[in-house]
Structure 1
Amino acid sequence: MFARMGLLALCLVFSVFVSVSHSACSYSLPKPGAKYCVDEADNSKHALGTTWTNKQCVKCTCSITGMRCCDTLFKAHVQTEGCVVVYDYDKCTFEVFHPMDRNIHCQHYAVGK
């Protein structure tokens, strides 16, 4: 019985990881005869076979079958009162800290957008 419960718990954990990892992706089909993909963030054109990360920290790949884009910057949720989140869109990272004392440990978690 304990083995069955352990297996069930393991399956639940993996299903959560799969849903989170794919929840921040999108896919769009190419227009007939298209020779490039258009990034909706800034309307920039990208050649077939290329991969780029746009200014919103979304990584996209352009192919003849379509454009796939996935968020690379997760949304931070702060659990410690008084702590703040600062996003760096140039590096696609974030920092969680207490503005009055950076030595205070700030508990947080991150999820896909």
Structure 2
Amino acid sequence: CDAQCYVEMIDPKAKGCIDRDGDFHKFNTRWKTKDCFRCTCSKQTIECCSLTLTPVGYDQEKCESVFDVESCSYQVRGKINPLQRCEVESWVI
């Protein structure tokens, strides 16, 4: 999913929310998914929004963006020297 946020309706008879990974969550709880979304369970919906900022406006010839699942963030580094950090002009959600 490439959207910033998504909303899923839940069964009105449900006792909680079942997320896309099949995990159960009680009403009025929040959690972070393995694909870096922050989700909230209510009696009507599961609402999830991305925690990830994507780098734009960097030198793509000399640099590459690498996603770190643990921190839900991108690092922009040199293609030839991965220890070199590259300047990023802006980020988008």
When normalised by structure 2's length, the TM-score is 0.79
SS in structure 1 opposite 2:65?
Answer: strand
Which one has the bigger helix percentage? 1
The answer (yes or no) to whether the contact 2:38–2:49 under 8 Å persists in 1 is yes
Max Rg structure: 1
Structure 1's unaligned 5+ residue stretches are 1-22
**Which whole-Å CA distance do the structure 1 matches of 2:87 and 2:31 have between them?**
32
**1:111 equivalenced with 2:92 (yes/no):** yes
Matched, 1:25 2:5: yes
The list of structure 1 runs, each at least 4 consecutive aligned residues, that deviate by more than 4 angstroms after superposition, is none
Residue 55 (structure 1) aligned with residue 16 (structure 2): no
Distance 1:72 1:34 in 2: 27
Q: CA RMSD in A?
A: 2.0
Q: Percent identity?
A: 28
Pair 104,44 (structure 1): closer, same or farther in 2 beyond 3 Å: closer
Distance, in Å, in 2 between the alignment partners of 1:24 and 1:57 is 11
Structure in which a larger fraction of residues adopt strand? 2
Secondary structure, counterpart of 1:90 in structure 2 = coil
Matching of residue 84 in structure 1 with residue 64 in structure 2: yes
Q: Where does residue 20 of structure 1 map in the other structure?
A: none
